[in-house]
Amino acid sequence: MVAAAEVARAQVPGAAIDIAHVDHAFDIDGAELKVLDDVSLIVEPGEFVALLGPSGCGKSTLLRLIAGLDKPRSGTLREDEVGIRGPHPSRVVVFQDPTLFPWRTVWDNVALGLEAQGILKKQRHRVDAALDLVGLTDFKNAYPHQLSGGMAQRVALARALVNDPKVLVLDEPLGKLDSLTRIAMQAELVALWQRKGFTTLLVTHDVEEALVLANRVIVLSDRPARIKADIVVDRPYPRHRGDPHLADLRRQILGLLGLEATW
């Protein structure tokens, strides 16, 4: 049974995500703050979907619901036809801050997921492989405070990838990096996604980043977030930032966000 599941996972690396009529709100000092308004979205297995919207619109809230960290007020979220009831290592999140555990070395940080699932002893090689994937094998014994911002975020990525996730949930993971590191890591992300085939959900407020990385860009409205547009980016990888088709899409998206005057 377990073996069969392993085989099935190997055949179809990515999972489908089905979000249907999701509403969510927070209680702030007794007042209800609505953050998601009837959001419905189907993500196909292996797709790279970017969620784009103004800051504070509820993008990250949607990701927390997909990760299973919070439960929606109403509506359903499903991963491969199974309802999402809580966090699961098949849907791993990379947050804006690397949030590495400062008391663990790089290796031990990456090993966290396997250790939590109780399979580390038999699968130590997976940790080495994940570190190799992000090019940090030489830093495996370093502590987080010795790393640069880009390296720390790479470790966070390795910590996610070591679990062989079906869905990789990225919450502005490159938001705090300098622009050069950022461009380099965008290319790495695309390469990893193409190699591994997991479904990727990326929250960002950077239009260019969304267009360079994603198959589909979902544009969200101001709070409470509704889906304003669902744009297919049908360009081959690696993409060029100067591609005129992307520039057209960019103008269109900025218009949707009410920023056409700045273009």
Instruction: Provide the CB-side half-sphere exposure for 221 (13 A, CA).
Output: 12
The three-point CA angle 121-132-195 to 5° equals 105
Give the bridge partners for 191, in sequence order: none
Q: Are 23 and 73 in contact (CB under 8 A)?
A: yes
SS3 track for 94-162: ECCCCCCCCCCCHHHHHCHHHHHCCCCCCCHHHHHHHHHHCCCHHHCCCCHHHCCHHHHHHHHHHHHHC
- Smallest gap from Cβ 213 to other proteins, in A, equals 21
By CB under 8 A, residue 93 contacts other proteins: yes
What is the spatial distance between Cα 19 and Cα 17, in angstroms, rounded to a whole number? Answer: 6
Residue 102 CB, shortest distance to other proteins, in Å, is: 6
The vertex-169 CA angle with 195 and 85, nearest 5°, equals 125
Cis? peptide before 238, omega within 30° of 0: yes
Among 34, 73, 78, 88, binds other proteins (CB under 8 A): 88
Shortest CB 117 distance to other proteins, Å: 5
Please, what is the minimum distance in Å from the beta carbon of residue 43 to other proteins? 18
Applying CB under 8 A, the span of 94-102, 147-155, 172-180, 250-258 interacting with other proteins comes to 94-102
**Residue 116 binding other proteins, by CB under 8 A:** yes
Binding map of other proteins across residues 95-114, x = CB under 8 A, - = no contact: x-x-x-xxxxx------xx-
Ramachandran class of 164: left when φ > 0, alpha when ψ lies in -120 to 50, beta otherwise? left
* Contact set for other proteins, span 144-183 (CB under 8 A): 144-145, 159, 163, 169
Nearest approach in angstroms of CB 19 to other proteins is: 18
Q: Which stretch binds other proteins (CB under 8 A): 83-91, 192-200, 235-243, 253-261?
A: 83-91
Q: Rounded to whole angstroms, how far apart are CA atoms 197 and 47?
A: 8
Q: Considering only 37-45, 84-92, 173-181, 215-223, which stretch makes contact with other proteins by CB under 8 A? A: 84-92
Our finding on whether 117 is near other proteins (CB under 8 A) is: yes
Q: Parallel, antiparallel, or unpaired: how do β-strands 74-79 and 167-171 relate?
A: unpaired
CA–CA separation, 226 vs 29, rounded Å?
A: 24
The yes or no reply on residue 115 touching other proteins (CB under 8 A) is yes
Pick 115 or 128: Cβ nearer other proteins: 115
- Stretch touching other proteins by CB under 8 A, among 10-18, 93-101, 197-205, 209-217: 93-101
Q: Which positions touch other proteins (CB under 8 A)?
A: 67-69, 86-89, 91-93, 95, 97, 99, 101-105, 112-113, 115-117, 143-145, 159, 163, 169
